[in-house]
Amino acid sequence: MVIQNTPNSCTLNTAIVLTVILSSQIIVFTQNAPLFACNTNQDPSLNHYSFCNSSLDVKTRVDDLINRLTLEEKIGYLVNDASSIPRLGIPGYNWWSEALHSVSNVGPGTSFSHLVPGATSFPQVILTAASFNKSLFNAIGKVVSTEARAMYNVGLAGLTYWSPNERDDGDEDRLKVAAACKHYTAYDVDDWEGVDRYHFNARVTKQDMEDTYQPPFKSCVLDGNVASVMCSYNEVNGKPTCGDPDLLKQVVRGEWKLNGYISSDCDSLDTMFNSQHWATTPEQVAADALNAGLNLNCGNWLKINTMGAVQRGLVEESVVDKAVSNNFATLMRLGFFDGDPSKQMYGNLGPKDVCTLAHQELAREAARQGIVLLKNALHSLPLSLTAINSLAVIGPNANATTTMIGNYAGIPCKYTTPLQGLSASVETVYLAGCGDTKCVRAQLNEAREVAAEADAVVLVMGTDQSIEAESLDRTSISLPGQQNRLISEVASVSKGPVILVIMSGTGMDIQFAKENPKITSILWVGFPGEAGGAALADIIFGQYNPGGRLPMTWYPQFFAEMVNMTNMNMRPNLTTGHPGYTYRFYRGTTVYPFGHGLSYSRFVQWLVRAPKLVQLSTDVQDQVCHYPECETVEVGDGVCRNLGFEVVIGVKNVGEMDGSYSVLLFSYPPPWVHNIPQLQLLDFEKVFLGPQEVRLVRFQVDGCKHLSVVDEDGNRKVALGEHVLQVGDVTHSLYLEA
Ligand SMILES: *[C@@H]1O[C@H](CO)[C@@H](O)[C@H](O)[C@H]1NC(C)=O
Ligand SMILES: *[C@@H]1O[C@H](CO)[C@@H](O)[C@H](O)[C@H]1NC(C)=O
Ligand SMILES: *[C@@H]1O[C@H](CO)[C@@H](O)[C@H](O)[C@H]1NC(C)=O
Ligand SMILES: *[C@@H]1O[C@H](CO)[C@@H](O)[C@H](O)[C@H]1NC(C)=O
Ligand SMILES: *[C@@H]1O[C@H](CO)[C@@H](O)[C@H](O)[C@H]1NC(C)=O
């Protein structure tokens, strides 16, 4: 037996005893072999079972299997640590593996060993998002899923990952690994001013739900074709998400048609009972979750309480059948019931495919592409290696290792710290400057001395997991402790460029540094993954031209002081003084706005082609109400027909260095209807351009998808009237008419 104490992922609310089912006579697990069912080599009698017959379709196989199982056996496959069914050659299986930005050992389904001592650790996803490069997202997903499958093949990892990663396109019935989107939904508070996620009731309007909180999940299921959705701990409008039939059965399963399983967080059902007091008996909680559409429970609540719930008539056995069918169907799509994995599609993957040079190079490339150049006065970056003979590298993150990989990490192939990256090209002097990122007392004298001697200074500041991690919410968005003071003092004595590097998960109020002329450059590096230091050095010395752009707003400190973070309203409210959230609604001052990011080159953009007028197709024109009597038209089949058009943008690199530029296409919808967003990102595309090179970027705009808004009742509508498209300095008015 293994006692699983509150780990940092999918935190188990109470300590849960996970029972490891040991090998029976029929199934023998060897340490380096993957777990799988239908091992017909070992037991030829399994050949007779249709569920083992890979020529049959998944539904037929699942139905066959369910028909053979007792209720107890089915219940055993409703929990993450699923029980073996020895009489049918089905081993136990742990559903909980993680691979947020690398194969991770946070979940019990995955571990590292002498066979695979580490996996390629990419930047935390927020930095990857800053690359605004869809091909990069895919490339990372391919690598992570390859390494995951390779580790499965040697018995070190599962096939089901509670993180986004990627499956190869193609056959609906074949998954490489199964990814999940979490945590569904409106899960914005971890632990803020005494309100934790187990007790947080997110009060969300229908409008915010439809136009902000649900779209990422909807897209994940419909566009991403993900294999799982995980419900969150919090309540939404008074109902725990894992027990809400509207959210699960009706929306995820019904409207979005998830092809896969719905899982709880670890252990949401315990939270429902003990923290949220949702029902008076544990069996009722189990029944409510199953009836709501939950299929799999991280934890053991369903294992313990489902039998009682069925016996008391709280839930039908047919509901258990449906739930566990989704779980088995997912495993079938993964090849788990197809016998020896080494004879299957991904059977050739193994330890040789983990941490390959190409994968590690992609980790470095991902960090380079994400890093955002926030300030670069006097073109002080890139540093010239001929002009700079000594570099002071100062700061609590200057020699960071684990801080670079952040939360939900594994063991990386290796680390290149900022100090190591920079030291590869130039003589460095290093000083941490603070004991840790909390920086209670800075070494100001030592730092001044080191800085005054050097030709240039790189300060690597920011946070780490003691400040930003799961189950922690920040209450300050300034740099911790004496970091500001350390930075300012170093800058005051430096004789050359001072480069401030912020290593953090999100924005920081660094207005003081933005305004300080002695601080010549500022870079945000997120938590840049195992190769973060190498990528940083590539940018500082100009081997790579930065092109990342902020994927979030950097607010001033007073924002954190005035906002009650339990307030889920996206829109500003004059009565309460709530300023609203994100570039879509917040109108106050920013330290750096969404989309900000500089380059060593300069790119100009212009509009090549976009319609001035877009009209609903003629056959619906006389069926709908027209502008100005009506400001919107309901989104529907007829309305959406022919509402697509192309926007073509020209981009030119007018600088001297080649580099990539992300074109962000925004729109300002008609401002007067439904208190809608002021600005929306419609799409983005990254292009690489040599000096003086010109490229055209084409966007396919879908009026119903991109130019629609959500009204107060949560209905999506096409807004009639003037939409202003914006790309950089270019704006273009487009009229949408009924
Ligand atoms: C598997 O199913 C196919 C298709 O129905 C059938 O032709 C084949 O005989 C089955 N294989 C076994 C071993 O039963
Ligand atoms: C920097 O960190 C690396 C990796 O932990 C360590 O080996 C090295 O000694 C550190 N360098 C300094 C100067 O502390
Ligand atoms: C935040 O708002 C909630 C709901 O209005 C209120 O109960 C709570 O006291 C507020 N918290 C703080 C710290 O202001
Ligand atoms: C602003 O907040 C007040 C007080 O909570 C509320 O009554 C009102 O409906 C809100 N206004 C908007 C536009 O959401
Ligand atoms: C996007 O990322 C891919 C994968 O790293 C890379 O090959 C490509 O050059 C990048 N695109 C641009 C425009 O930088």
pLDDT, one tens digit per residue, over 584-632 is 999 999 999 999 999 999 999 999 999 999 988 777 777 777 777 778 8
Q: For 293-377, where are the alpha helices, taking DSSP H only?
A: 301-311, 317-333, 357-370
Quote the CA–CA distance of 728 and 738 in Å, as a whole number: 29
Quote the CA–CA distance of 726 and 724 in Å, as a whole number: 6
Q: Name the one residue in this structure whose structure tokens are 């007018």.
A: 654
Paired residues of 202 in beta bridges = 236
Concerning whether 265 is annotated as a catalytic residue, the answer is yes
Please name which ligand lies nearest the alpha carbon of 475: 3
Among 55, 58, 59, 61, residue to substitute to test ligand 1 (most atoms within 8 Å of Cβ): 55
Burial class (CB in 10 A: 0-12, 13-18, 19+), 276: buried
The mean pLDDT of the chain is: 93
Q: What is the CA radius of gyration of the chain?
A: 27
| Cα–Cα separations (whole angstroms), residue 604 to 418, 654, 698, 733, 738 | 32, 7, 16, 20, 35
Residue nearest to atom 13 of ligand 2 (CA): 430
End-to-end CA distance of the chain: 66
Please name which ligand lies nearest the alpha carbon of 193: 3
Residue-wise burial string across 161-174, b where 16 or more C-beta atoms lie within 10 A, e elsewhere: bbbbbbbeeeeeeb
pLDDT band at 672 (very low <50, low <70, confident <90, very high): confident
Q: Which of 63, 188, 244, 265 is catalytic?
A: 265
Among 56, 58, 61, residue to substitute to test ligand 1 (most atoms within 8 Å of Cβ): 56
State residue 165's pLDDT score: 57
Please indicate whether residue 429, judged by its CB atom, sits closer than 6 Å to ligand 2: no
Q: Which atom of ligand 4 is nearest to the CA of 576?
A: 2
Percent of the chain with pLDDT over 90: 87
Burial class (CB in 10 A: 0-12, 13-18, 19+), 653: buried
Cα dihedral 197, 203, 208, 212 in deg (nearest 10): 0
Quote the CA–CA distance of 729 and 370 in Å, as a whole number: 23
- Within 10 A of 31 (CB to CB), how many other CB atoms are there? 9
Among 391, 393, 399, 411, residue to substitute to test ligand 2 (most atoms within 8 Å of Cβ): 399
Contact 451/494 with Cβ under 8 angstroms? yes
**Domain 19-352 falls under CATH 3.20.20.300:** yes
Kindly state the average pLDDT of the residues 48-70: 97
CATH fold of 601-737 reads Immunoglobulin-like (2.60.40)
Residue-wise burial string across 404-433, b where 16 or more C-beta atoms lie within 10 A, e elsewhere: bbbbbbbbbbebbbbbbbbbebbebbbbbb
CATH fold of 367-562 reads Rossmann fold (3.40.50)
Burial class (CB in 10 A: 0-12, 13-18, 19+), 235: buried
What separation in Å is there between the alpha carbon of 556 and the centre of ligand 3?
21
Kindly state the average pLDDT of the residues 28-36: 72
Amino acid at 292: A
DSSP for residue 247:
I
Give per-residue pLDDT as tens, 83-136: 999 999 999 999 999 999 999 999 999 999 999 999 999 999 999 999 999 999
What separation in Å is there between the alpha carbon of 53 and the centre of ligand 1?
6
Domain ranges of the chain: 19-352, 367-562, 601-737
Q: What is the pTM of this model?
A: 0.95
Contact 103/148 with Cβ under 8 angstroms? yes
